[in-house]
Structure 1
């Protein structure tokens, strides 16, 4: 078997199945990453969604017997909708981040990786392979950086010259010793726009993220959001694009290569008030195909409530009052109380005054009190 020819064949094949960029690197340990992960752990900057075993994140030999190389792939996703929907008084809308537009990217990437695996198995019947997309053990970004897909930006995203940072990443570990590609030179230079623009200061410095302060993480949590984060959420109901949209490398980048990734405007920029009353089945029917639905409806509904406060949408007072008095979930009742306080007005005040007499949950009572104080301010 001529491995150089196989690599060229695989690169050519990858283009026919909808892979926008492919790179190759060694299967050696990611020693620099190990040090960074230990530091992140010590600082309590990790989100908790990561693989907890740091060695599995940095050592491919723990995932595949005697690995020789790793194949990294990137798929570019759209940044603009073909049909524009607008938010207006009485019909305010939330927004899912661009990485959650279209079909759940985990399935899209797995489809491409499965095709690569099948191709290699046909060419090399005894090949060993292990593929993964960000829920796997390895760091997609560390693999992509070493494989020359792009450089690791100060916003903690892989930035490619062709597509900016608007790419999904995945990888396949293999026992085939492919020749490796050269890593790319860091082009961020002295630019700090992403750090300066981060709404919550989650970007501590270039390349270092306090995940627990990142809006992308916070929108996925299920408990009460701290008030300092609520006021920064805006109308985001899942994820955050700020550190990408301000990046000069992303200016003008918008690619529509993959049908599965095309956004449905009414789904990714949905009306907020209807979200508040969705059943589990209705939520799954409307949002279930998005990667942003993975935590269920509760975080999305909580975030929609906060977004209505951001807009000070007086037309939502009745909807929020129903949640405050009837919803079985304390987080939803309490967040509705805070939102009513932010919106203000006699109707909101009356709803809060009635609710505090009935409410038994102490956390919710605190939020009702906060809401009343906001109205008085």
Structure 2
């Protein structure tokens, strides 16, 4: 079998099936990455969502028997909505990050990788392959960087010359010895705009992030948001794009190549108050197809409560009181108490004082006290 010819056929086929960029690299261990990951772990900078076994994250040979190469793919996603909606007084809106617009990117990338697998199997039936996206063991960014998809920016995203960092990436380990492509030289230079734009200073330095401070991570957690971050989250209900929108390499980058990535503006930028009343079924029906729904309804509702506090939306006070009095989740009740104090007013104050007499959860009581402190 002519592997060189197969590589060219794969590149041509990838364009036919809607892959915007494809690159090839060896299946050698990512030894430099291992040291960085160990350091991240020692500093407590990991999110906890990663594969816990660092060796698996850097050693393709632990994931596929006798691997010879890795194929990396990238698909460009939109940075602007074609149909815009604006919030207004009494009808405030939240925002999902761009990576959660349209159909969950895991499904899109897996579809493209599956098609690549099937193409390889028709040409090389004995080939072994293993594909993964985001939740797999390997570091998508490390593979993409080495495969020449883009360079790893100071914002810890892969930046491509063609599409900026607005790309989804995934990879496939193979037993075929494809010739590796050349990595792209880092083009960030002395620019530090992403570091300066990060609302929580999560970007410790270029290429290093403390995930525990990252708004994208914080919006996906399930507990109470630490006090120091609540005001900084703004109206984000899932994810954060600040380090991407600040990047000069993303200026003017907006691609609408894939229909399944097109956002429904009412989902990508949803009205906040209705989120507080959604049942699990209603949440799944409205948001279940986007990647931002993966942690379920509660984190999104908590974030919507904080967003209403951010806007100091007085029209949301009755809805927040309803959450404070009747919601089963202590996190939702407590966050609503804090939000009522933040918004203020006599109605909110009366509700907080009433809740103080009947609430039994100590964490919620703490949040009620925080809400009352806004009046002192």
TM range (shorter): over 0.9
- What SS does the corresponding residue of 2:190 show, helix, strand or coil? coil
Aligned to 2:222: 222
Q: In structure 2, what is the Cα distance between the partners aligned to 1:331 and 1:9?
A: 53
Aligned to 1:326: 326
Q: Is structure 2 residue 144 aligned with structure 1 residue 144?
A: yes
Describe the superposition over 1:232-256 as per-residue Cα deviations: whole angstroms up to 9, x where unpaired. Answer: 0000000000000000000010000
Aligned to 2:307: 307
Aligned to 2:348: 348
Aligned to 2:252: 252
Aligned to 1:39: 39
Q: In structure 2, what is the Cα distance between the partners aligned to 1:364 and 1:173?
A: 48
Q: Is structure 2 residue 235 aligned with structure 1 residue 235?
A: yes
Q: In structure 2, what is the Cα distance between the partners aligned to 1:330 and 1:63?
A: 41
Paired residues for 1:1-377 under 5 Å:
1-376=1-376
Q: In structure 1, what is the Cα distance between the partners aligned to 2:309 and 2:204?
A: 28
Describe the superposition over 1:182-223 as per-residue Cα deviations: whole angstroms up to 9, x where unpaired. Answer: 000000000000001100010000000000100000000000
Describe the superposition over 1:304-359 as per-residue Cα deviations: whole angstroms up to 9, x where unpaired. Answer: 00000000000000000010011111100000000001000111111101110110
Deviation at 1:155, TM superposition (A): 0.1
Q: In structure 2, what is the Cα distance between the partners aligned to 1:249 and 1:71?
A: 24
Q: In structure 1, what is the Cα distance between the partners aligned to 2:243 and 2:347?
A: 38
Describe the superposition over 1:33-77 as per-residue Cα deviations: whole angstroms up to 9, x where unpaired. Answer: 000000000000000000000000000000000000000000000
Deviation at 1:375, TM superposition (A): 2.4
Q: In structure 1, what is the Cα distance between the partners aligned to 2:199 and 2:262?
A: 27
Q: Which segments of 5 or more consecutive residues in structure 1 lack a partner in the other structure? A: none
Describe the superposition over 1:121-149 as per-residue Cα deviations: whole angstroms up to 9, x where unpaired. Answer: 00001010000000000000000000000
Q: In structure 2, what is the Cα distance between the partners aligned to 1:189 and 1:231?
A: 32
Q: In structure 1, what is the Cα distance between the partners aligned to 2:95 and 2:190?
A: 31
Describe the superposition over 1:94-146 as per-residue Cα deviations: whole angstroms up to 9, x where unpaired. Answer: 00000000000000000000000000000001010000000000000000000
- What SS does the corresponding residue of 2:375 show, helix, strand or coil? helix
Deviation at 1:165, TM superposition (A): 0.1
Q: In structure 1, what is the Cα distance between the partners aligned to 2:269 and 2:328?
A: 27
Describe the superposition over 1:69-94 as per-residue Cα deviations: whole angstroms up to 9, x where unpaired. Answer: 00000000001111110010000000
Q: How many residues align?
A: 376
The alignment yields a C-alpha RMSD, in angstroms, of 0.4
Q: Which segments of 5 or more consecutive residues in structure 2 lack a partner in the other structure? A: none
Q: In structure 2, what is the Cα distance between the partners aligned to 1:7 and 1:146?
A: 17
Q: In structure 1, what is the Cα distance between the partners aligned to 2:51 and 2:226?
A: 26
Q: In structure 2, what is the Cα distance between the partners aligned to 1:246 and 1:338?
A: 31
- What SS does the corresponding residue of 1:341 show, helix, strand or coil? helix
Q: In structure 1, what is the Cα distance between the partners aligned to 2:234 and 2:104?
A: 24
- What SS does the corresponding residue of 1:315 show, helix, strand or coil? helix
